[in-house]
Amino acid sequence: MAAAPEPVVREAVLQAVVQAPPPPELPPFPTNEMPLTDIVLPGLAPEGDTLERICADIGDCTRCRLSQGRNKIVFGVGDPNTKLVFVGEGPGADEDAQGIPFVGRAGQLLTQMIEGTSAKEGIPLKRADVYICNVVKCRPPENRTPEADEMQICGQFLFRQLSAIKPKAICALGSTAAKALLGGKDGVTKLRGKWHKWNDIPLMVTYHPSYLLRPYNQEAKRESWEDLKKTLHFVYD
Ligand code: SF4
Ligand code: URA
């Protein structure tokens, strides 16, 4: 993964969110045509917000430059009433082609980890029982790390998804998700394995599955497994 984006993302989004008055009715959402400077983000959790509404607000989004190279917007998949949400970085080639998050090699590993760990721990959980999404909904060119402004713009949709679902816990996969949700500069090695919070929702940070696919990261694989075990027991015990 490339250089870390500046930790302005969460602060900037939250600041804008705090400044926005809670809407009595859902306000018109910023449109594709609005210059960025005119965009006032709606409240973090507008009353009555739903995944359908968020998806409709995204529409055929061109709010950031990632729209230029994408094929499909990858909104998110899973149970909207779930207790557990996984957040990755952004779509790769397979996800961009199918419009579904984590369906490529890293996605297959994530699915195996969720289903394998829960089976071992006696928790009946399938991939379809959780919700899976990304910080940015469009594939960054050459799979580069999303830039700070892209994370800030698209992050509003992630924040709304999390606020609409209100899971019991969130699992951030990798440094980009951790930075988008926690702010700060710390990477996974520092943050992983411990509970943090995103707006009062407990948040676990662990390695991104694509990192675990590299053959020399076997120790990280074991650690991820521990992190996931801890998360699953907290959520489902
Ligand atoms: Fe819109 Fe997000 Fe795609 Fe950017 S990454 S164009 S903000 S949906
Ligand atoms: N990596 C991610 O961060 N997200 C995906 O959806 C696929 C790969």
4-61 pLDDT, tens per residue?
445 555 565 555 554 554 444 444 444 545 444 444 444 456 778 999 999 999 999 9
The CA-atom distances, in angstroms, between 117 and each of 4, 42, 227, 229, 230 are 30, 38, 10, 7, 10
User: Rounded mean pLDDT of the chain?
Assistant: 88
pLDDT in tens, 141-176: 999 999 999 999 999 999 999 999 999 999 999 999
Q: Which ligand is nearest to the CA of 95?
A: 2
| Interatomic CA distance for residues 171 and 44, integer angstroms | 19
Q: Which ligand is nearest to the CA of 72?
A: 1
pLDDT at 40: 42
The CA-atom distances, in angstroms, between 74 and each of 60, 189, 236 are 11, 27, 27
- CATH architecture for the domain at 46-236: 3-Layer(aba) Sandwich (3.40)
160 lines ligand 1 (CB under 6 A): no
Measuring from atom 7 of ligand 2, which residue has the nearest CA? 102
Measuring from atom 4 of ligand 1, which residue has the nearest CA? 64
pLDDT at 35: 45
Interval between CA 106 and ligand 2 midpoint (Å): 7
Q: Which ligand is nearest to the CA of 176?
A: 2
Interval between CA 1 and ligand 2 midpoint (Å): 12
Interval between CA 150 and ligand 2 midpoint (Å): 16
Interval between CA 184 and ligand 1 midpoint (Å): 23
- Maximum CA extent, the chain: 53
N residues, the chain: 237
Domains of the chain, by residue range, sit at 46-236
pLDDT in tens, 193-217: 999 999 999 999 999 999 999 999 9
96 lines ligand 2 (CB under 6 A): no
If phi > 0 it is left, if psi is from -120 to 50 it is alpha, else beta; for residue 76 that is left
pLDDT in tens, 61-110: 999 999 999 999 999 999 999 999 999 999 999 999 999 999 999 999 99
Q: Which residues of 133-172 are buried (b: 16+ CB within 10 A; e: fewer)?
A: bbbbbbbbeeeebbbbbbbbbbbbbbbbbbbbbebebbbb
Shortest CA distance to 221 belongs to which of 205, 232, 200, 207?
207
65: number of Cβ within 10 Å:
14
pLDDT in tens, 123-136: 999 999 999 999 99
Number of Cα atoms under 13 Å in the Cβ half of residue 50: 5
Query: Torsions phi, psi of 196, nearest 5?
Result: -125, -170
pLDDT at 16: 55
pTM (2 d.p.): 0.84
